[in-house]
Amino acid sequence: MKQENCIIRSEEKKDHRAVENLIRESFWNVYRPGCSEHYVIHVLRDDPAFVKELDFVMEKDGELIGQNMFMRTVIDADDGRTIPVLTMGPICITPDLKRQGYGKRLLDASLQKAAQLGFGAVLFEGNIAFYGKSGFDYAAKFGIRYHDLPEDADASFFLCKELIPGYLDGVSGVYQTPQGYYVDDADVEAFDRQFPYKEKRKLPGQIFE
Ligand SMILES: CC(C)(COP(=O)(O)OP(=O)(O)OC[C@H]1O[C@@H](n2cnc3c(N)ncnc32)[C@H](O)[C@@H]1OP(=O)(O)O)[C@@H](O)C(=O)NCCC(=O)NCCS
């Protein structure tokens, strides 16, 4: 996966803290005052559902500029089957290099690898404006519902892409977010104190308090 001076490679143990710092810089004050995603990856790397073969970093001129990771999860199908799928994220690109195509390049390369490994579909919460360019569509169009969401609620944040065409044909059901993503605020606070101080700010567009 080499393009220009930019490479995508597997994350290694020596990268862990730098990757967490990159995630913290990229997500800080975007969805809430501060962020929790740097702690989320810290916890998920030890989760049995974590897919080590799909844990990527992007480097440009030897500098870490992006990361992406995947977890195994399931759709509880209405007919009683349990359908294995992937979920994804956190994914990020360093703030200085946003909107220059690096995120899409990292996303597409990661999805290609996931398809090569034989995974059937990827579902997660995201913005269709970005992920739609890489073939994601609303999960509702595939007959997949988001857990704990009332039927009349807006589910346009919930996206899906088949990696094996037709993988979700004949499937309707409820997607489950892996439990590992639910972290405790107090644990996030304690972890965050290991990093340089950053000011938490309430900004327009944030979706969590
Ligand atoms: C989301 C993120 C990974 C996208 O990476 P990126 O390198 O900035 O995105 P790209 O330049 O590859 O974007 C490709 C296209 O997707 C669309 N897009 C990207 N980010 C978008 C955004 N925030 N809102 C609307 N459209 C967006 C644009 O159409 C863009 O093309 P354009 O710039 O020519 O219009 C990156 O911005 C980031 O790290 N954000 C903060 C963390 C985050 O939100 N992660 C995702 C959580 S679901």
Domains of the chain: 2-192 (3.40.630.30)
pTM for the model: 0.96
Residue in the structure block whose two tokens are 């290694």? 12
**Mean pLDDT calculated for residue range 62-66:** 97
Distance spanning both ends of the chain, measured CA to CA: 39
Nearest CA to ligand 1 atom 48: 126
Query: With the C-alpha atoms ordered 204, 206, 207, 209, is the resulting torsion angle positive or negative?
Result: negative
Mutation to probe ligand 1, out of 98, 123, 134 (largest number of atoms < 8 A from CB): 98
**Mean pLDDT calculated for residue range 160-180:** 98
pLDDT at 75 over 90: yes
The finding on whether 104 has its CB within 6 A of some atom of ligand 1 is yes
Index of the ligand 1 atom closest to the CA of residue 31: 44
Assign residue 166 a region: left if phi > 0, alpha if psi is -120 to 50, beta otherwise? left
Residue 93 CA to ligand 1 centre (angstroms): 8
pLDDT for 3: 53
List, in order, residues 6 or more apart from 14 with CB less than 8 Å away: none
pLDDT for 91: 98
